Amino acid sequence: MSDPQSPVTANPWAALRQFTDARIALGRSGVSLPTSAHLAFQLAHAQARDAVHRGLDGPALAEQLSATWPGLPGSVLQLHSAATDRNHYLQRPDLGRRLDIASRDLLAPSEGTLEERPFDVAFVIADGLSALAIEQNAAPFLAALHQRMAGEDWKVAPLCVVRQARVAIGDEIGQALGAKAVVVLIGERPGLSSPDSMGLYLTWMPRVGLTDASRNCISNVRPAGLVVEEAAYKLHFLLAESRQRQLSGVDLKDETATAATALNAGHGNFLLK
C-alpha cells in the first residue's frame, strides 16, 4: 500500500524485486521515475562504462591464478593482442582476435594433428569488455573447476593471461600451444546491473579462422548470476563430452540437469508456490 505522505506511488509487484536485479516495480512519482531509481540507473551506467575502460592488472591476476591450479607447467604466460591500447581495442575488434608479434614469438607454434597435440586443454584468461569480471571471478572459477578435474587424466597447458583480447584469440593460442581444446574466460559486455559478468567459451581443436558455431558458451558467471560452482559443473561436463566426442559448438549440447537442481535439491520455484 502506498504511503499517503510519500510522493512516490508504489508498484504492486514490488515484492518480486527480491528475485531479480532487473529494474521492475520501481514505482512512480507522477508520470516519472522516482529520484532514487533515476540515480541508481545513472550509477549503474557509470559502473558499466568504468568496467569497459578499466585496465587489467596482468601480474596481480597471474599471482592469483598460480595458486588455483598447482602443478601446471611453467609460469602464467602474459600475452597481448594486436590492439595496442584500450581505445584501439574498442575501435578495432578484429585486432583483439589476434596476438601481437611478441606474443606469437613467445608461444611455440604447433600445427599438429589431434594425436600430436601435447595438451588436452588450455585456459585463456582475457580481459574482454570487463577486466573487473576477470579480476573478481577468474581465480575462484578455476579453483572450483580444478576441484572437479582433480584426479582425472587431464594434461593442462600453462595458463595464459591476455590483455585487449576478444574471444577468438583463444583459437590462435590453443593452436600455438598444441591444445586439443581451449577454454576462454573473458569479461562480457557490461549490462546495467552486471558490470562483473564473465563468459566461458569452449572450442575443440582450436585454430585460426573458426567461427562462433564452433564454440560452446556459458554466460553470466558472477555471484549474482551463475555462481562459479554451477559454472564449473557445466564446463566440466562439456569438457568431458568434447574430449570423448571430439567436437564442440552447435554439435555439442549441454545435457546436464541444471546445476542449481544438482547442488540445491529441494529448492522450489517461487513462481509455482
Q: Are residues 32 and 93 in the same domain?
A: no
- Domain check: are 27 and 116 in the same one? no
One domain for residues 190 and 219: yes
For the beta sheet containing 160-163, the strands, ordered from the edge strand earlier in sequence to the opposite edge, are 77-80, 160-163, 119-126, 179-187, 198-204, 215-221
H/E run at residue 183: strand 179-187
> Mean pLDDT over all residues of the chain?
87
Instruction: Give, for 124, the enclosing helix (H) or strand (E).
Output: strand 119-126
Residue 76 and residue 94 share a domain: yes
Task: With beta carbons less than 8 A apart as the criterion, state whether 240 and 248 touch.
Answer: no
Average pLDDT over residues 127-145: 96
- Residues 24 and 101 grouped into a single domain: no
The answer to whether residue 99 sits within a structural domain is: yes
Cβ neighbours for 243, distance < 8 A, ≥ 6 positions apart: 120, 180, 181
The residue ranking higher by pLDDT, 16 or 149, is 149
In this structure, the answer to whether residues 160 and 92 fall within a common structural domain is: yes
Whether pLDDT at 270 is above 70: no
Q: Please check whether residues 146 and 36 belong to one and the same domain.
A: no
The DSSP element (H or E) to which 190 belongs, if any, is none
User: Which one-letter DSSP state was computed for residue 157?
Assistant: P
Give mean pLDDT, residues 191-211. Answer: 92
Find the CATH number of the domain harbouring 111: 3.40.50.11240
Residue 235: pLDDT band with limits 50, 70, 90: very high
CA angle 238, 123, 56 (to 5 degrees): 130
Residue 168: half-sphere exposure toward Cβ, Cα within 13 Å: 15
Assigned domain for 267 exists: no
Q: Calculate mean pLDDT across residues 147-162.
A: 94
Better pLDDT: 145 or 109: 145
Domain extent at residue 249: 57-259
pLDDT beyond 50 at 259 = no
Residue 46 banded pLDDT, cuts 50, 70, 90: confident
Confidence band of 260 (pLDDT split at 50, 70, 90): very low
pLDDT digits (tens, 9 = 90+) for 78-115: 999 999 999 999 999 999 999 999 999 999 766 666 66
What confidence score (pLDDT) does residue 117 get? Answer: 85
Sign of the CA dihedral 113, 118, 121, 127? negative
Same domain, 75 and 171: yes
Residue recorded with cell 597481448: 80
Is 132:54 a contact under the CB 8 Å cutoff?
yes
pLDDT of 147:
94
DSSP state of 192: T
82 in a structural domain? yes
Are 122 and 83 members of one domain? Answer: yes
Residues 63 and 149 in one domain: yes
Mean pLDDT of 223-244: 96
Instruction: Quote the pLDDT of residue 240.
Output: 96
- Structurally, the chain folds into a number of domains equal to 2
Are residues 48 and 61 both part of a single domain?
A: no
pTM of the model: 0.82
Domain assignment present for residue 168? The answer is: yes
